[in-house]
Structure 1
Amino acid sequence: MCTLAAKFFSKREQVVALLSCVDTSILSVLPAPIVSMSDRAPEQASTSKDQVSHGRTSQERKSPGPSPEGLLPAQHWTQLEEVRDEDADDTDSALGDNASSTASLTSSILEYRTILGRSFHSERGNAQYWGSIDAEQNEAMDINHHVQTLLLDGKLHLAPLDNVERVVDIGTGTGLWAIDFADEHPNATIIGTDVSPIQPSWVPPNVQFQIDDCTQEWTFAENSMDYVHMRWLVGSIQDWTALLKQAYRCLKPGGYIESHETSANILSDDGSVHDQTAMGQWGKIFIEGGRKLGRPFTVVEDAIQEKAMEAAGFVDIRATSLKCPIGAWPKDERLREVGKYMYLALTEDIEGSVVFMANLLGWKKEEVFVYAAHLRRELASNKFHPYYRQSILVARKPESSSR
């Protein structure tokens, strides 16, 4: 019933319906927490206090990214004995199909590529987005938007915005952030850009979506934007400084930029996630694939956002670091909810997330499926206490600029 109803709803209503379906069909059966975050690491007890650090030490800013050493071959997963975890739950996701319209787009934009049976954006431009763009991955992105909102206590941004008129969301994906921001700021015009036409057509009147490649020269006029928002571009950008310089040029003096990025590495503070686990290998797959593409997945580890903002000329740079749990293991109620939804976002379409990079590394389709099965089993188990790191950078264009 949830799937049928979603076809007649607006994009935002679809996600509300989708999450309400998830509440009754999945969240209640996730493994109960068996360990407190505070038992493992005091800084994990609260995102709003202990998990958030403003600014970084010079050592943290300059710390090198993780090495791809220790990446296991694809055959490892097909040869690994399947062990049934009595603590795991194999309940499938009950998420329904996502309806979206791509009217008024040229045929070249709709010429998707197919890699190991999954659809990816066309060869248009220089962008190399690694996530698939079919229904399963789009639903995962929608759930992830909910996760990001929960992490920020319901807020859509951290920048101190006031009376914004023109806003651009770079890499808008399914467009949910742009739609929600437009609802909160009805007097502002919000433009969402992406390389793929996966956004809905039924949107607030102050929202418009454009198919564009952010790695090429932006088409927006100089000094025309009040706020530039970008989220989860990791692995898609070759030159972050060039990207941030484009944002700097388009922003009005005094305008803000906000960049949300994630680490590819799945970690734990108790050693439950290690290099021989599927979770421990997740980041290595992406980091090695990104190295081959020339598009780093160590944006958080190498403080690339901050360095690029400084090089572009931004001032008042403020960094916020977050830990996002995966699964229902945290004792803290809010973080437990975050973890449940992040579990859903990841397990909804592991294959669509990893297949691009796995194919780049020479994996076969069946090897991807077997690896995904091992990862799902680990994620559903109470034996692991995984999380990943995120970094949010907010900065301002000076009121007077010579650049």
Structure 2
Amino acid sequence: MMSSPAKKVQSPVPEAKSPTVQSPKGKTKSPTPGPASPTPGPASPTPGPASPTPGPASPTPGPASPTPGPASPTPGPASPTPGPASPVAAHDGAPTDLLSGAHWGELEIPDDEDSTLGSDAESSRASISSSILQYRTISGRRYHSDSVTDGEYWGPNDEKAMEVMDIFHHAMTLILNDRLYTAPLSKDIKNAIDIGTGTVFALMTNSSAYSDFADEFPTCNVVGTDISAIQPDWVPPNLQFDIDDASKTWTYPDNHFDYVHIRWLCCTMKDWASLYKEAYRCTKPGGWIEHFDGGVHMVCLDGTMPKDSAIGQWGHIWTEVERKTGVIANMLDGCMENGIKEAGFTNVQTEDFLAPTAPWPTDERQKQIGLFQYISLTSDVEGFLTYFLGQVMGWTENEMAKYASVLRREYKEGKIHANIKWRVVRAQKPVDA
């Protein structure tokens, strides 16, 4: 029986030439992007993987153009499902460092067509677009159906949202050193599930740039769940997609899965403890669970991030969303490791990664990660913001548009050396359970 106490795995953040890229030692205040899974619309707390996630986005978070050029500063239409009439506060006390929407609405936004800003990053958009986004088409904003869940998910599930999820998937794979997973899986596993799959497993099975999960485990039945039917029609014979709300009781049998995978579902759940308990019930003795998610507070190691900058305000905004709605935004406050351990899993291991939000590092690998995160964060800023800031926070369209414009410009300039802190938590169900 593997019942060793939880252990911390040293962060594999590569030593960067620049000290701003180096992973902080000890307990750094957890940062995280806004919902990063940009996919489903306002409703279910289970985005399509994230899992995107992402959580903020989505987890499957916000995101219609096949080319990830700068998103329009005009926010996308509000979620078809109205926001909670009376949000349940998760924490008491209003934040003191949060700037109001009016602060951004009153700003005069300069012309953003300065060709000297982010020229390298912008030129790289074209090559990325031609290589992994050539199959995308333009469409209006779209959200998931209320018939799937009675919950609220913040991100759209249209082509633009799926585009951002695919780019984030590439970034996350780079962060994990070109791995699709980190759990020590045997080659003869029989059943695996990805919660909130979005387009990620679709990309895993069709991408030529990375190992394909379904191809790597040809005798394993792979299931991807989501609240939106945004997956491709063609998939390998051992891969299936189920439209399901993971925040409710799972429809799978006890002791069934060898591997449960969760990615980028921040801002989708109020009760992670219940989800982990369902995962424990459905996992085989000896099977593994792996959750990859991040914090909402950006980490800056060199003092280049002013508190009143749009990037500096990102974490405060999502902390307030968490306070007003009860959905968990910051996944790095012990939510994952504590919830997984309390569900009954043992051999709990954590691994932290610090990833730049723009291609400002001197280290080439970190620069590449920063490029992918920059494109995914700026391609559809409005997709991250429209639901929660409009429906919950009460910001006007003008205020959201101004904030999005400032945020996009700060990322493009690269003067603020911000990082997103990501965390992998993996654990095992006891073999004698």
TM-score category, normalised to shorter length:
0.7 to 0.9
Residue 281 of structure 1 aligns with which residue?
313
Please give the alpha-carbon distance, in whole angstroms, between the structure 2 residues aligned to 1:68 and 1:205: 50
Which amino acid letter does the alignment assign opposite residue 168 of structure 1?
A: I
126-135 or 195-204: bigger deviation: 126-135
Q: Does 1:217 align with 2:246?
A: no
Q: 1:271, CA displacement in angstroms?
A: 1.9
Match of 1:294 among 295, 309, 326: 326
Please give the alpha-carbon distance, in whole angstroms, between the structure 2 residues aligned to 1:67 and 1:394: 34
Residue 363 of structure 2 aligns with which residue?
332
Which amino acid letter does the alignment assign opposite residue 118 of structure 2?
A: D
Which amino acid letter does the alignment assign opposite residue 40 of structure 1?
A: P
- The 5-angstrom pairing of residues 153-232 of structure 1 reads 153-162=177-186, 163-176=188-201, 179=205, 180-232=212-264
- The 5-angstrom pairing of residues 24-173 of structure 1 reads 38-41=17-20, 44-45=21-22, 68-83=95-110, 88-89=117-118, 91=122, 95=129, 118-123=141-146, 124-162=148-186, 163-173=188-198
Whether contact under 8 Å (1:259, 1:305) holds in the other structure is yes
CA change 1:293–1:81 in 2 (3 A) is: same
Match of 1:323 among 325, 346, 354: 354
- The 5-angstrom pairing of residues 303-382 of structure 1 reads 303-359=334-390, 360-382=392-414
Structure 1: segments with no counterpart, 5+ residues: 1-35, 101-116
Please give the alpha-carbon distance, in whole angstroms, between the structure 2 residues aligned to 1:60 and 1:266: 9
Residue 5 of structure 1 aligns with which residue?
none
Please give the alpha-carbon distance, in whole angstroms, between the structure 2 residues aligned to 1:267 and 1:137: 25
Please give the alpha-carbon distance, in whole angstroms, between the structure 1 residues aligned to 2:350 and 2:95: 26
Residues paired across the two proteins, number: 336
SS at match of 1:227: strand
Which amino acid letter does the alignment assign opposite residue 334 of structure 1?
A: R
SS at match of 2:300: coil
Q: 1:369, CA displacement in angstroms?
A: 1.7
**In angstroms, what is the RMSD of aligned CA positions?**
2.6
Q: Deviations over 1:249-269 (max 9, x none)?
A: 000000000001111222311
Residue 271 of structure 1 aligns with which residue?
303
Whether contact under 8 Å (1:178, 1:190) holds in the other structure is no
Structure 2: segments with no counterpart, 5+ residues: 1-14, 31-90, 206-211
Q: Deviations over 1:4-24 (max 9, x none)?
A: xxxxxxxxxxxxxxxxxxxxx
Q: 1:203, CA displacement in angstroms?
A: 1.4
SS at match of 1:244: helix
Please give the alpha-carbon distance, in whole angstroms, between the structure 2 residues aligned to 1:274 and 1:127: 35
TM-score (norm 2): 0.72
Please give the alpha-carbon distance, in whole angstroms, between the structure 1 residues aligned to 2:313 and 2:183: 34
CA change 1:371–1:220 in 2 (3 A) is: same
Whether contact under 8 Å (1:88, 1:378) holds in the other structure is no
SS at match of 1:120: coil
Please give the alpha-carbon distance, in whole angstroms, between the structure 2 residues aligned to 1:358 and 1:386: 22
SS at match of 1:310: helix
Q: Deviations over 1:21-54 (max 9, x none)?
A: xxxxxxxxxxxxxxx954434xx34xxxx57x8x
Q: 1:98, CA displacement in angstroms?
A: 5.3
CA change 1:256–1:126 in 2 (3 A) is: farther
Please give the alpha-carbon distance, in whole angstroms, between the structure 1 residues aligned to 2:170 and 2:406: 26
Whether contact under 8 Å (2:257, 2:282) holds in the other structure is yes
Q: Deviations over 1:128-150 (max 9, x none)?
A: 22221111111000000000111
Which amino acid letter does the alignment assign opposite residue 158 of structure 1?
A: T
Q: Percent identity?
A: 38
Residue 400 of structure 1 aligns with which residue?
432
- The 5-angstrom pairing of residues 252-263 of structure 1 reads 252-263=284-295
Q: Deviations over 1:142-194 (max 9, x none)?
A: 00000011111111111000021100000101133653311221221110001
CA change 1:157–1:82 in 2 (3 A) is: same
TM-score (norm 1): 0.77
Whether contact under 8 Å (1:264, 1:282) holds in the other structure is yes
Which amino acid letter does the alignment assign opposite residue 409 of structure 2?
A: R
SS at match of 1:203: coil
Please give the alpha-carbon distance, in whole angstroms, between the structure 1 residues aligned to 2:16 and 2:306: 18
Please give the alpha-carbon distance, in whole angstroms, between the structure 2 residues aligned to 1:231 and 1:326: 18
Please give the alpha-carbon distance, in whole angstroms, between the structure 1 residues aligned to 2:17 and 2:293: 25
Q: 1:270, CA displacement in angstroms?
A: 1.5
Please give the alpha-carbon distance, in whole angstroms, between the structure 2 residues aligned to 1:261 and 1:388: 10
Q: Deviations over 1:277-324 (max 9, x none)?
A: 011112222221122221111211x11001101110100000001111
